[in-house]
Structure formats: C-alpha cells, structure tokens
Amino acid sequence: MGPWIEKQRNILDFTLASLLRRKGKNAALLLVYTFIVFVLASVMFFTHSIKKEAGLVLQGSPDIIVQRTVAGRHDLIPASYLGPLTKIRGVASGRIRLWGYYFDPITGANYTLLVPEDFSAGAGAAIVGSGISKSRLASEGDVIVLRAHNGESLVLTIKGVLSEKSELISADLVLISEPDFRKLFGISKGHGTDIVLTVRNKKELSTIALKITEALPDARPIIRDEILRTYESVFNWRGGIITVLLAGAVFAFIIFAWDKATGLSAEERKEIGILKAVGWETSDVLLMKFWEGAALSLSAFLTGTALAYLHVFFASSPLFGPALKGWSVLYPEFRLTPFIDPVQIATLFFLTVVPYTTATIVPSWRAATVDPDSVMR
C-alpha cells in the first residue's frame, strides 16, 4: 500500500505544480466553475430548506378551509353555510374566519389583516408583525391609522409586535378584533372570509371535502394536504424562470469547460511528450490528467458548495433577494433553518465533478499513445 500512496502523492505533487505553471488560465476556469456550482447549490439549498420549513411549519394549519367562489373568484362566505358544514359526519367543529388585505398608501405595502380566535387585546388594539413595525417605524404603544371602507379613519393602538423569529410567516400580519375588522371593511355580521373546519379523523379529509362540494356546490374546500403539496411543488427547483436563466449560464460553462478539457494546447502536448520521453508510462500520464481534473473540479465543487451554504443560511440569500422580493414593499428578512438533502448534493457532484474529470482524460490518452518524438516536434 505504501509505494502506491507514495506514487499518487508524487503525481499529485507534479500535477499541482503543473497547474500553477498555467496560473491565469486555471484560475479563470476555477472561478467560473466555482460560480456555477455556487449558484446551482444556492438554488438547491434555498428551495429544499424552504420546502422543508414550509412542510414543518404548516403542519398546524387548519384541517379544511372552505371558501365560496362567485364567478371564479373568492367571495365572502355567508355565516349560514356553517350549519350544513358542521352537520357533515366527521366534522368536529367549524369557525368563521375573518381575514383580508389592506393596502397602506403611506408605505405602499400590502398588509394581511387577521382576526384571531382569541384576541385578548380587545377593540381599538392591534398586534403587528415585525415587518410592519419596521416599515411604519411603529412599536408598542404607538398608534396606526387605517382608512375604513367608508373613508373614516380607524385608530388602532399597537399592543404588541410579533417576534422577529417568526417573520417568515408573520411579517405583514395585523391582528385586530372582530368589531374593528367588520368596521374597517364594512362586512356584515352574516358574512366571513372563509370557514375553517376541524376534522376528527384526518384520514377522512378528502371524503369530507367531497361531501362539502356536494352539500354546497359553490364552495371550494382546501384540505391541509393540498396546502403542504402546494409548497412542495411551488419551489420545485427545476421550475421557474431562475432555472431558465441559469440554463444559459450552465451551457456556456459546459462549452467553456469542454473546450478547455478536451482540447489540449500545444504546450500541454509537448509536456506529455517530454514525460513519455523521460520514461513515464501512458497510465502515469492518464493518472496525472485524472488528478488535474479532480483537483480542479473538486476545489470548485467544495468552494462553491461552502459559499452557497454561507449565502443561503447565513446571509439570507441576497442574490435571490430581488427575484423573491418582486414588487413587494414589505419583505420578510428571514433566516432559513439549514436542511440539506444528501441526494441533491450527490447529484450536483455527479453532474459537475465526474463529467469534467472524465473529459480531461480522453484527449490526454490520445496524446499519450502517440509517439513522443512526433508530439514534441
């Protein structure tokens, strides 16, 4: 085992020295290679951990939400719908939920107003998300004024700010009391935004959803599984414009790397000729080229992946910021919990390191099998 390791070490030593001799060219390749791995790994880390986090966090969302649709749009649901829904066998309880959107002309942001089941702060009070607190520069004890549907002003005193840690789900939330909500939007007592149902046996969710559409044809039930599935498919990293944009960069890199790996320069051919002339075997030359490809692609892979980890989990993905933010004024500043899928890392490894390393070996084999004298000429 000793001499074998010694031989590999010597060849690797020689390879690194040979790589350093062509510093500029190899550094440029390493830089582009690392960047490609970095972007791909960032997308993978981001989408995987956001899917995982959504899956875990939204486990507690309501069993079934029943919306009413009118002319293809979500409409207010009459309170009278609650009776037939709770009568369905398997439904444990039901509640009318009140929530809606409010466009704040002062900051140009959209807020989500929600009436919690137990709102202890009472009428005239509000609990706001930390995103709103930051954008309105408002903290506990301050007042915010919202414009009601009839033009009147609704003055609310901030009784609390939701924790910054929960910004991923609560940045734009304004929790208010039921009377304030109805006053603000002019929604009568007989209507709500939607109805949430609690089901005894979670296995019956889809059967109950079917019964709901039979009992109330204009109702649209959304079960918890659908919510979880939506987040699973929404951030499919193969989907979306990001991948389309990335594809161009990846193909440009493939051409660049292919060109670099398969076409040997006259200098490299000469080097192989000299090595053969001084007594190197063809297998030694191939081994050297293998180490050259492996050293370059492994460095790029490891650096790119490490940088992507820092980018996504420590710096909160500033590169995706503009795409994620879109036109929204209120954007949560969240730090994702690191979840890494080993299969994805392995896929990235096999898509980057393996093809590059093999691509470097083939032309060297061709050069190494030719007579050294003719290669050196």
Partner 1 sequence: MPSIMEKGRMVKALELTDLCLFTEARYTRHITQADLNTPFQDHPMSLEHFPSGSFIMPPENIFRAYVPQQARK
Choose the stretch contacting partner 1; rule: CB under 8 A; options: 21-29, 64-72, 83-91, 344-352.
Answer: 64-72
Give CA separation, 194 vs 43, 82, 182, 221, in Å.
Answer: 35, 10, 14, 10
Residues 235-274 within binding reach of partner 1 (CB under 8 A): 235-236, 239-242
**143/158 Cα distance (integer angstroms):** 6
Residue written as token pair 């001084």: 278
Of positions 16, 27, 28, 210, contacts partner 1 by CB under 8 A: 210
Choose the stretch contacting partner 1; rule: CB under 8 A; options: 20-28, 69-77, 177-185, 345-353.
Answer: 69-77
Give CA separation, 20 vs 28, 67, 273, 296, 306, in Å.
Answer: 12, 66, 19, 11, 23
User: Is the separation of the CB atoms in 211 and 217 below 8 Å?
Assistant: no
User: Is the separation of the CB atoms in 138 and 128 below 8 Å?
Assistant: yes
Contact flag: residue 284 with partner 1 (CB under 8 A): no
Three-state secondary-structure class, residue 127: strand
Question: Helix %, strand %, coil % for the chain, to 5?
Answer: 60, 20, 25
Choose the stretch contacting partner 1; rule: CB under 8 A; options: 15-23, 104-112, 182-190, 261-269.
Answer: 104-112
Contact flag: residue 329 with partner 1 (CB under 8 A): yes
Residues 334-353 within binding reach of partner 1 (CB under 8 A): 337
Choose the stretch contacting partner 1; rule: CB under 8 A; options: 5-13, 206-214, 268-276, 305-313.
Answer: 206-214
List, in sequence order, every residue forming a beta bridge with 151; answer none if it has no partner: none
Select 135 or 360, whichever has its Cβ closest to partner 1: 135
Residues engaged in binding partner 1 (CB under 8 A):
50, 53-54, 56-62, 65, 67, 69, 72-74, 97, 101, 109-110, 112, 114, 116-117, 129, 131, 162-163, 165-173, 175, 194, 196, 210, 213-214, 220, 222, 226-227, 229-231, 233-236, 239-242, 323-332, 337
